[in-house]
């Protein structure tokens, strides 16, 4: 239905020439998602200490947020990137768990009363509503810390050291990456929206971790430099498309559908794409950035199919 | 003056046989401290992005806490451990900066209103008093994250990979280490003090990072397993001695002397050694754990002198 918003990209169905009897791209993606999500969920459950490990409170809080479901976008991209570089999803699991743990920590801290002050996340009470503010801060700290433990324990890789992956993730999550985005986001509240500020916030807050997810997946597969660089470009464009779509959904969907408070961005005077460009132009931009993302996958040929289909699927989501 | 509280250890002066004309142990330690602190301060200033790096707020906040002085105990131990294993202080600098960044982050988060709610640290307003709660949370997050970036960038080491150091630090700082201690500390407030709970809190909250500082220093020097293990035992004992002394000072010294709010532990109903054992027995215990620490250094012979003298100096401090 939304396919008409593609301005430069080919349509989803045209991406992979299909032999008679093969699954449609959409069904193939569904099967891949089901398989890879199962692998991820199992891996995430063992990535953090059991709830019975002392002190129980912190481990219950970590698991509450990490195992609360969600799209698992970042670890899925990580696994797909590994496969695009002729590796396996399994080889990317330490990196995939690490990026999801970073994502979970960032949500816990973003939801705190001193930040976005949100009560609802994925249809459930946020961490500080559930465990109190002190434990919520510590659960975020712990997920952030343990993400590096998981990544450092990755088996020896073909072309990179585990410490190369740690450096990449720390840079993306640090004060010039994800955290820079959150700082700029806090600073922008209530200010007059500007295009450069908006792009900076989204490129840092969402884009840096998406790019790192893809690059870490590629590195886990021993991908060569040009592959890592192509996935970095893909992640940059996809990150913007994803965030624009997120802004659109926040402005148009119900809280029930989103599993989090809706319309909060506008209420908080947040800088968003719909606030700056209006809904119609925002939809156009989301499509353009998706096309841009798909263009960067050329070097992977048929191996890039999963990532291409994921990009299209993300544009079509309604929650 | 306090030397009489040593029950099992030799006295400081007796530790290193001294040739005529050589510096006294105390003066030698002073010279070492001056030299190594200068090296550390210089290194810490370049370990985090400049205050002019965008967004300026977060980098100013990170530098405010990291470069606010303090004893620099953890990085000093890290450098001394490297030297004890026949390495240099310089070789231990990435690890030394990383442990101090972890320490600085933990203080920022511990001082938050939802934790210990402290207004004063090292004689200056705490981070959230200076920058607001949101930025304080993020400055802590950023120091924690960048600590792993600094460590991952360590040059190739003789016997260990940089990722071995990352794994060690993440474990010490994580939900079974430093964070476990803070969780237990929060949970214990106002409860009846118990010896096992008190030891758990201090061994986790202070001990784990001190042990990691020493082990990372040894690993930076390519120390062998028995050396790393000896320094781990030293760190465990020293951590308890240090924390007992800290509790004693909180109960007996003025805020001016300490540079932080004094008597807060008792006011908050915190579990401390003086609260559980009284001051006299606490002093005795601090001395015993210091002796225990010194005993674990035997394997290093004369190379362990700096660590031995540091242990004694810590026991004698009054702030």
Q: What is chain A's pLDDT, residue by residue, as a tens digit (319 residues)?
A: 333 322 333 444 444 556 666 778 889 999 999 999 999 999 999 999 999 999 999 999 999 999 998 899 999 999 999 999 999 999 999 999 999 999 999 999 999 999 999 999 988 999 999 999 999 999 999 999 999 999 999 877 789 999 999 999 999 999 999 999 999 998 888 788 789 999 999 999 999 999 999 999 999 999 999 999 999 999 999 999 999 999 999 888 876 666 666 666 766 777 889 989 999 999 999 999 999 999 999 999 999 999 999 999 999 988 7
Of B100, B314, B101, B83, give the one whose Cα is nearest residue B217.
Answer: B83
Nearest residue of B to residue A136, measured between CA atoms: B114
Look at residue B37 and tell me if it is in a domain.
yes
Q: Which string of DSSP letters, residue by residue, matches B38-53?
A: HHHHHHHHHHS--TTS
SS3 B120: strand
- 10 Å CB burial of residue B94 (0-12, 13-18, 19+) is buried
Q: Which residues in chain B have their CB less than 8 angstroms from residue A54's CB?
A: 180
Encoded tokens for A314: 């993300």
Q: Are B161 and A166 inside 8 Å of each other by CB? A: no
Q: Is the backbone peptide bond immediately before A12 cis, with ω within 30 degrees of 0? A: no
Token duo for residue A128: 């500080």
Q: In A, which residues are within 8 Å of B149 by CB distance?
A: 166-167, 170-171, 174
Q: What is the pLDDT of residue A274?
A: 92
pTM score: 0.91
CB contact under 8 A, B166 and A171: no
Number of domains in chain A: 1
Choosing among A54, A55, A59, which should be mutated to test the B contact, i.e. which has the most B CBs within 10 A?
A55
- CA dist A26 and B301 (Å) reads 69
Count of beta carbons in the 10 Å neighbourhood of residue A123: 13
- Helix locations, B153-207, DSSP H: 162-173, 178-188, 195-202
| Euclidean distance between CA atoms A70 and A259, whole angstroms | 9
Angle at B224 between CA B218 and CA B225, to 5 degrees: 95
Measure the CA angle with vertex B138, ends B133 and B143; round to 5°.
130
Is residue B240 within 8 Å of residue B203, measured between CB atoms? Answer: yes
B62 chain-A contacts, CB cut-off 8 A: 175
DSSP 8-class letter at A206: I
**Residue-level pLDDT at B17:** 56
Residue A68 lies in a domain: yes
Q: Are B237 and B270 in contact (CB under 8 A)?
A: no
Nearest in space to B240 (alpha carbons), one of B311, B156, B169, B138 = B311
CA distance B197 to B3: 29
Across the interface, of A57, A137, A154, the residue whose CB is closest to B112 is: A137
Between vectors from CA A307 to CA A302 and to CA A313, what angle results, nearest 5°?
120
pLDDT at residue B130 above 60?
yes
Q: Using CA atoms, how far apart are residues B71 and B89, in angstroms rounded to an integer?
A: 17
Give the model's pLDDT for residue B307: 98
Q: Is the residue at A113 inside a domain?
A: yes
**What integer pLDDT is reported at residue A18 of this predicted model?**
61
Is residue A208 within 8 Å of A201, Cβ to Cβ?
no
DSSP B213: H
How many of the other CB atoms lie within 10 Å of CB of A266?
A: 14
Most A CBs within 10 Å: which of B51, B129, B149, as the mutation test of the A interface? Answer: B149
Hey, of B47, B126, B174, B208, which one would you mutate to test binding to chain A, going by the most A CBs within 10 A of its CB?
Answer: B174
CB neighbours of residue A276 within 10 Å = 17
Examine residue A262 and say whether the peptide bond preceding it is cis (omega within 30 degrees of 0): no
How many CB pairs below 8 A link A and B? 153
Identify the CA nearest to A96 among candidates A86, A108, A88: A88
Determine, for residues A170 and B145 on separate chains, whether the beta-carbon distance falls below 8 Å: yes
Give the C-alpha separation, A210 to A240, whole Å.
10
Q: Where are the beta strands (DSSP E) in chain B?
A: 120-121, 124-125
Residue B19 inside a domain? The answer is: no
B5 in a structural domain? no
Residues of A in Cβ contact (< 8 Å) with B60: none
Residue A103 token pair: 């994502």
**What angle is formed at CA A25 by the lines to CA A23 and CA A28, rounded to 5 degrees?**
55
Considering only CA atoms, which of A185, A178, A246, A163 is closest in space to residue A212? A178
Instruction: Give Cα separations from A243 to A182, A238, A277 (angstroms).
Output: 14, 8, 14
Q: Where are the beta strands (DSSP E) in chain A?
A: 120-121, 124-125
Asked whether the CA dihedral B100, B105, B107, B110 is positive or negative, the reply is: negative
Flag if B49 and A152 touch (Cβ within 8 Å). no
Please report the pLDDT score of residue A256 as a whole number. 64
Contacts of A137 in chain B (CB under 8 A): 109, 112, 114-115, 137
Lowest mean pLDDT among A207-211, A226-230, B18-22, B242-246: B18-22
Predicted pLDDT at A13: 44
Q: Is residue A160 part of a domain?
A: yes
Q: Do B152 and A173 touch (CB under 8 A)?
A: no
Nearest chain A CA: its distance from B153 CA (Å): 7
Cα separations (Å) of A126 from A72, B91, B142?
18, 43, 22
Name chain A contacts of B162, Cβ cutoff 8 Å: 161, 163, 166
B15 falls within a domain: no
Q: Tell me phi and psi for residue B263, to 5 degrees.
A: 65, 10
Q: What DSSP line would sit under A109-152, residue for residue? A: HHHSTTTT--SEETTEE-HHHHH-HHHHHHHHHHHHHHHHHHHH
**CB spacing of A163 vs B167 below 8 angstroms:** no
Say what the pLDDT of residue A3 is. 33
Chain center to CA of A261: 19
Report yes or no: B77 and B34 within 8 Å, Cβ to Cβ. Answer: no
| CA gyration radius, chain A | 19
Backbone phi and psi for residue A121, each to the nearest 5 degrees, phi listed first: -150, 125
- B47 Cα to chain A: minimum distance (Å): 12
Range B189-221 burial, b when 16+ CB lie within 10 A, else e: eeeeeeeebbebbbbbbbbbbbbbbbbbbbbbb
Which residues, other chains included, contact B159 with Cβ-Cβ below 8 Å and sequence gap of 6+?
B219, B222, B223, B224
Nearest of A126, A87, A123, A317 to residue A219 by alpha carbon:
A87
Measured between beta carbons, the chain A residues lying within 8 angstroms of B135 are 183, 186
ipTM of the complex: 0.91
Domain that holds residue A120: 23-316
- Within 8 A of B166 by CB-CB distance, chain A residues are 148-149, 151-152, 162-163, 166
Q: What's chain B's average pLDDT?
A: 90
- The mean pLDDT of B199-204, rounded to a whole number, is 93
Residue with structure tokens 């908050």? B268
Q: Is residue B3 part of a domain?
A: no
Q: What is the distance in angstroms between the CA of the first residue and the CA of the last residue of chain B?
A: 16
| List of chain B residues whose C-beta atoms are within 8 Å of the C-beta of residue A163 | 152-154, 161-163, 166
Residues, chain A, total? Answer: 319
Q: What is the CATH number of the domain that holds A267?
A: 1.10.600.10
3-state secondary structure of B124: strand
Q: Which residues pair with B120 in a beta bridge?
A: B125
Cβ distance B148 to A148 less than 8 Å, yes or no, reads yes
Nearest residue on chain A to B148, alpha-carbon basis: A170
Among residues B158, B149, B95, B104, the alpha carbon closest in space to that of B127 is found at: B104
């Amino acid at each position: 239905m939304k396919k008409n918003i593609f301005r430069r990209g080919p349509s989803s169905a045209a991406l992979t020439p299909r032999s008679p009897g093969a699954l449609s791209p959409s069904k193939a993606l569904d099967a891949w998602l089901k398989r890879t999500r199962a692998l991820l969920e199992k891996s995430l459950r063992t990535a953090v200490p059991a709830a019975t490990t002392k002190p129980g409170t912190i481990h219950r809080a970590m698991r509450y947020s990490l195992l609360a479901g969600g799209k698992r976008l970042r670890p899925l991209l990580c696994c797909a990137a590994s496969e695009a570089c002729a590796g396996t999803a399994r080889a990317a699991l330490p990196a995939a768990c690490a990026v999801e743990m970073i994502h979970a920590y960032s949500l816990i801290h973003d939801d705190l009363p001193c930040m976005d002050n949100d009560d609802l996340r994925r249809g459930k009470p946020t961490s500080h509503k559930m465990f109190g503010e002190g434990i919520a801060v510590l659960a975020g700290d712990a997920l952030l810390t343990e993400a590096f433990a998981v990544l450092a324990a990755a088996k020896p890789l073909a072309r990179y050291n585990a410490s190369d992956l740690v450096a990449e993730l720390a840079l993306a999550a640090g004060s010039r990456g994800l955290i820079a985005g959150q700082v700029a986001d806090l600073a922008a509240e209530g200010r007059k929206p500007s295009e450069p500020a908006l792009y900076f916030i989204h490129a840092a807050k969402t884009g840096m971790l998406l790019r790192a997810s893809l690059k870490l997946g590629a590195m886990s597969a021993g991908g060569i430099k040009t592959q890592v660089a192509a996935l970095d470009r893909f992640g940059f464009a996809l990150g913007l498309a994803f965030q624009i779509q997120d802004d659109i959904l926040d402005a148009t969907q119900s809280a029930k559908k989103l599993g989090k408070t809706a319309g909060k961005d506008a209420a908080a005077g947040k800088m968003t794409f719909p606030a700056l460009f209006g809904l119609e132009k925002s939809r156009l931009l989301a499509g353009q950035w998706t096309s841009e993302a798909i263009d960067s996958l050329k070097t992977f040929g048929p191996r890039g199919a999963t990532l291409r289909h994921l990009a299209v699927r993300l544009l079509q989501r309604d929650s």
